[in-house]
Structure 1
Amino acid sequence: MEVRFLQFGLGLLLLLAARHAPVTAVRSPQCQSQCGGVDIPYPFGIGDNCSLSSGFNVSCKVQGRTSKPFIGKAELLNISLISATVRVLLPIATHCYNTSSGRMDFSGKWVNASNATYRFSDVYNKFTVIGCNTLAYISDMNGTSYQSGCVSTCSNLSYVTNGSCSGIGCCQTEIPKGMDYYRVGFDRGFNTSKIWTFNRCSYAALMEAAAFNFSTAYISTTKFNDTRNGMAPSVLDWAIRNGSMSCEMAKQNKTGTYACLSRNSACVESTNGPGYACNCSQGYEGNPYLADGCHDVNECNNSPCPSGGVCTNTVGHYQCSCRAGRKLSKLKNACDPDTGLIIGVTIGFFVLMVFCFSGYMILQKRKLTKVKKEHFRQHGGMILFERMKLEKGLAFKVFTEAELIHATNNYDNSTIIGKGGHGMVYKGIVKDNVPVAIKRCVMIDERQKKEFGQEMLILSQVNHKNIVKLVGCCLEVEIPMLVYEFISNGTLFELIHGKNKALQISFNTLLRIVHEAAEGLSFLHSYASPPIIHGDVKTANILLDGNYAAKVSDFGASVLAPSDEDQYVTMVQGTCGYLDPEYMQTCQLTDKSDVYSFGVIVLEVLTGQVPLKLDGPETQKSLSSSFLVAMKENNLDAVLPSHLKGQESAELIRGLAELAKQCLDMCGTNRPSMKEVADELGRLRKLSLHPWAQLEAERESSQSLLGGTPPANFETIEDYTSGYPTQEGEILPMNPGSQYYAR
C-alpha cells in the first residue's frame, strides 16, 4: 500500500518566530500593502522591516500571471485585525482505493505552527470527514494530550443529503483551544475497496466550518479535493506572543515592544493561547498597531439619534439634541413633547400594553392547552384511556407534563443520570416518594407517533423478571416521555470495566448475570407479541438491582419488530464495538442483530476487555476480530485473562467461546436465536455449578444451540415471564430504561 504522510509546517519550518524581534514603530512607505488583491495591513508586511516581527512576514509569489500572498507555504486568503485571525489554505488528507493495485492509497497530513504566532481557531474550525466508510482521527503531536475523530458511513448515495453533515456521508467534530500542531490519519479497518464504484476516496481536513457546505458530489467524485487543488480554507488565531506575555505585562514593558501604538487603542487578551492583540477604542476604527492608525468614526453617518433629533459628531463619540419645543430623554432616547402629554401618552401606552399582554397570555395558554391535547391525541392517548377503563388495575400511569417537571425539579442538571443517542434520562421522585427514571426522547418517527399509544399498551403488559419495568408515559408533549422503575446498582459494564470493577464478583456470578440477560432478550424475541428487537444490546444496557440480578434496559418505543420485512432503518443506531456487520451493510434490523451484540457481551465477560480500543495495534482494536482470529488459529488462550485459565474448567471456557463464536457469525442466518443462546448458557451454568454432572450436561447440549425444548429450570412460559408477585387481573409492565439507560 502506498503511504504518503506530508508535513505542512507553519511553525518550525516556516514561521520561525519563537521570540519576536523588536517592534518596528513605523512601517516604511515603500512597503507593499497588497498582493493578489489581498490587503496586507500592519503588523503583517511583505519584505524586510515591513512587519512587526518575523512571525508576521508575508511573501508575495508570482504564479503564472497572477500574484498570491503566502504565510510560509500556506496561501493567505485574508487578514482580520478586528478578530485577530487569518484565513489560509491547509492540506486535505485522502484515503483512496487504487483500482490498478487493488489497494488503498493513504495520504495523511500534519500541520505544525508550534512556537509561532498562530493557533488553530477552535471557534471557526471543525475537523471534517467525508466518505461512506471512513473513520478519521485528529490528534496533537504525540496523541497524548488530545485525540478525537468521527466516523462517516452510508451504504449508498440515496442516504446522502446535500447540506447535511451528521454522520451519513459526512461528519464533523470540534477541536480544543491552544492547538498549534495537528496530524490527521485514517482507521485502516474502514476503506472504500468494496464501494469504490460510487465512493473511491475518503477525505479529512481541519477547515473553516462556515466555508463548508456538504455536497453529494463530494462522495461520488473528487470535486472536494480538486476544488482548491487538495487544499481547504482554515482559520488561524494570531496574537503578539512574546513568551507568555499578557496585556498587563506588555504595558509595563520598558523596552518599547508594546504593540498597541495608537493613542486610541486598547489591548485585548488572546482567547486562544498566551499573548494579546490590539483593537481601536470604542468610537474609533482603523489600525491600532500604527501610531496614528485609529481614527474617529463618524457615528452620524448612521445616526443613532431618535427621529426628529439632530446628531453632532465629536471625537470618539457623538451628541444628540432636539429641535425647539422638545427635549431629549436620554432614558428613552427620544425627543419628547411637554410633560403633560408625556404623562398621558405613558399612561395610555401602559394600559394598552397591559391589555395586549393579558390577551396574549390568555391566547398562548389556550394555544398551549390545544397543542397538548393534539399531542395527546396523536400519540394514542385516547386508546390508552379506553383500554385502562376496560382493564381496571392496569399497572400503568399516564403522567402529565407538570407531574414530571415537579418530579425532576424542572429537569435540573443534578437529576441527570444518563445520556445517549436516544435521549436524556433523569431521576425523579413521583407520588408516594417512589423513585423513577424519566427518559426524554430526542426523536421519534411519524409511524411511532401514530402507534405510540398502542405500543405503550404492548410494552406495559410485558412482564419478565429480567426486563426493567415500564411504569408509565407522558403523551401531552411533542415527543412522548417514558417513565421507568429506578435500578440502583449500576451496569454490567461498570461491574466488568468501570467503577464497580473492584468488587469481588465471582465468574459464576457474572455467568448468572449474562444468563439472566439472555433470558430477558429471549423473552422479547420469542414471547412478546409482537416481538421486540432491542437494537442496542451492550453491557451498559444491562442494569443490576440490589441483588445483582440482570435487568435488560434501553429498548425504547421504537423497537417493535417491523411488520414489513423490507422496512429499513434510515440511520445506523447502536454502539461501536457491538454493531452487527450485516446490519451496517443492509440497514435492516433483525433479532439476529441482537444475537451478534450479545456475543460481544459474552466476550467481555470471558476476557474482561472492552469491545473497542482506539489505541494500540490495529489488529487488537476490535475485541470480536481478535477473538475470531484466535479461535481460527486454535489459540483461545491468547485472549483469555490469566486468572480465568486456572480457576474455571476448560469445558466451561470452551463452551462459552464456542457460543460467542456462533453469535458473531458474519451471516445472521447462521447465528443461533436468543432462546438457543439462553438455553446454552443455562447448560454451561449447570456445568459450572455441578462439574460432576458432565454426562447430564452433554445430554442437554444437543437441545441447546441446535434447538429443542427450554432448559430444565424453565418448564412453562410463566417461568420465563415473571418474578414479580401479581394480583388477579394485574399486568406488570416492562420498562426499557433506567438510571444507566444510555451509554
Structure 2
Amino acid sequence: MAPLLLLLLLLPVQLLLAVANAVPDSCTKATCACQDIHYPFWLNSSAPDCGYAGIGLLCEDNSTLILPFKSHRYIVSSIDYKTHTVLVSDADIADEYAAGCPRLHVNLTIDTVWLRLAPSASNITFLYSCKRNITLSSAVELSGCQPQQQDGNRSYVLRDGGITGAEAYEFECEEVVVAPVLDVHKKAVVGAPGGPPPENGSFREVLQGGFELNYDTHNHQCDRCEGSGGWCGYQRNETHVGGLTFTCFCEGGRTTDRCVTGSKRKTPIIAGIVAGTLSLLFLCLVILKFFSASKDGLLPFKSKDEPRVESFLQKNGNLHPKRYTYADVKRMTKSFTVKLGQGGFGAVYGGKLYDGRQVAVKMLKDTKGDGEEFMNEVASISRTSHVNVVSLLGFCIHGSKRALIYEYMPNGSLERYAFNSNMNSGNSLSWEKLFGIAIGTARGLEYLHRGCNTRIVHFDIKPHNILLDQDFCPKISDFGLAKLCLNKESAISIAGARGTIGYIAPEVYSKQFGIISSKSDVYSYGMMVLEMVGARDRNTSGNSESSSQYFPQWIYEHLDDYCISASEINGEMTELVRKMIVVSLWCIQVIPTDRPTMTRVVEMLDGSTSNLELPPKVYLS
C-alpha cells in the first residue's frame, strides 16, 4: 500500500506538468471529404473533449463524413461554421440507389441537445405497404417498393408531410416514416398537390438533397480563444448545466477565456499547478476510500443487480435507446413535480426533453431479484416499431433507481375512459371508438406475435396497459412481464404465473389446460374486450343484471338482446357490438388450441358478422 500511495502522490504533479506544456494536437483542425472539422465538431478518432458530446463525426475512407444518431447514420455534405448549419442526408438514400423505390427505414431522432432541425426544413411522409388506397390530394403512389407490394399492398408519399396517427391507422400501413428535407428543394422538384405526379426519382432527388441542422455554440468565446493562438474545446464539469464547460487549449495549459504570453502567464500556471496537485491528491485519497468502502460493501447506493443489468446493456448496445443520467431525469421532470399516475410498478411523471417534446417518465420501484422486469421492458420495446406499440425514447439506471422515458399519451390509458365507475355517460367512449381501440390493439398484438424479428409475448394485456394518443389510437405499453421468443418457438417456459387477475389465461395457472404460448395473450385480449363491452353498458345504462353474474356467461346467453339494446337499434352499431363480443368469446376459450391467433382475430374484426359463428360456451369463471 505504501508504494502505491507514493506513486499516487507523485503522479498528479507529473501529469499536470505534462499537460501544462503540451499542445493538444488532437484538437487541431482535421479534414475529411474535403471538409474542415473543428470545434464544436470532432472526429471520433480524436479526443472527445475537442467538441460537443453527441456530435462526434466518423470519417470513412477519407471520402464520406458521417454523423451517427443512435443506430442510424446521416451523411454530412457540408458544415457552415459562420451560420452554424450542417447539411446532412439519410444514409439509406445513397448514390448507388439509382432506381427503384426511395426506401427509408427510420424517423429522424436527434439524440443530442446541441443540434436541432433548421427552419429551412420541411417534411414529406412515406407510407409503405398500405392495405388500403390513399386518396388524399397530396398523396403520390410509389412504384417498385418490393417486397412490400408482393401481397397487393401499395406504398405512397405525402408531399405536404402531414398525417395524423388516426389516418395512418385507417390506411393500415406497415410502416410510416417522416423525412425532413430542404423546403426550397422540395417545392422546386416535388411541386404542389394537384399538379402532375412526380416520378420516384424526384423524391429520391429531394432526399439526396438532404436537410439542414443548426447547432448551438459559444462562438464569441471561441473567437477570442483562436484570436489569442489557442484551440477551442471543452472539458467535463459535473456541476455545470449540461456537464460541459468551454475550454481554450493553450501552450501553457487550459483557460476558459483566451491564451496569454510572457510573464502574465507564469503566475497563473504556477498557481494552477499547485492547486491542481492538491486537488488531485485529495481526489486520489477519495478514490482509495471509495474502493475500500466498495470492498467492504459499505456503499448504500450500489445495487446488487447492477452488474447484470450493465452487462445486458453492453451486449445489446445497438438495440436500446438513449441512456439518460438521473440528473437528466430530474431536470426533464422538474424534480418529479407532475405526477401522471401510480401503479404496482411505481409512479409515472410528466416531463419534457431538451427539444420540447412531452414525455412520460416511468420510475420503477426498487426492483427485486436481478432486474428482469427493467431489462425485459428495454429489450422488448426496443425491438418494436408499430403505430399500435408505444415508443420508448430512453431509459436511466443509477444504482437502485430505474427510469423508462416514453412518448407522452395525452388521453391516458383505456381504463381511465371506459372503466372508471365514477364517470358519467357523457365521458364514456362511443362504440365506434371502442371498436377502433379493439382492432388497433389486435393489430399491435399481431405485430408483437409475428411481425418482429424476435417474437414477443406480452403477458399483461389489460386496459391499464393500453394507452391512447390524441386521436384515441391505442398503443400497447408496459413490457415488464414480456417474454422474448424465437420465431419458430411455440411453447414458452416461465417461472410462476404472471399477469393480472381476471386477465390471466388458464394455462398460465395450470399446465393441465395446455402449453403457455402467444395464445395466452389472446385470452387476455378477449377478456379485456369483453370488459370494454360490459363496462360501457354499466356506465351508460346502469345494467345491473349483467354485473350480478360472470359476464362472459351472461353475454353468451343474452347476445342478441344485448347487441340490439346496447346499439339503440342502430344496425351498423349492432354489427360492431356483436362482432366485438363473438370474437372475444372465441379468444377466451379454455383450451389454448381452440383460440384463434391474433392474425385471425384481426381478420374477424375486419370481416362481416354474417360469417362469425358462436364458439362453444365457456363455463370457467
**TM-score category, normalised to shorter length:** 0.3 to 0.5
Give TM-score, length-normalised by structure 2. Answer: 0.44
TM-score normalised by the chain length of structure 1: 0.37
Q: Which has the larger radius of gyration?
A: 1
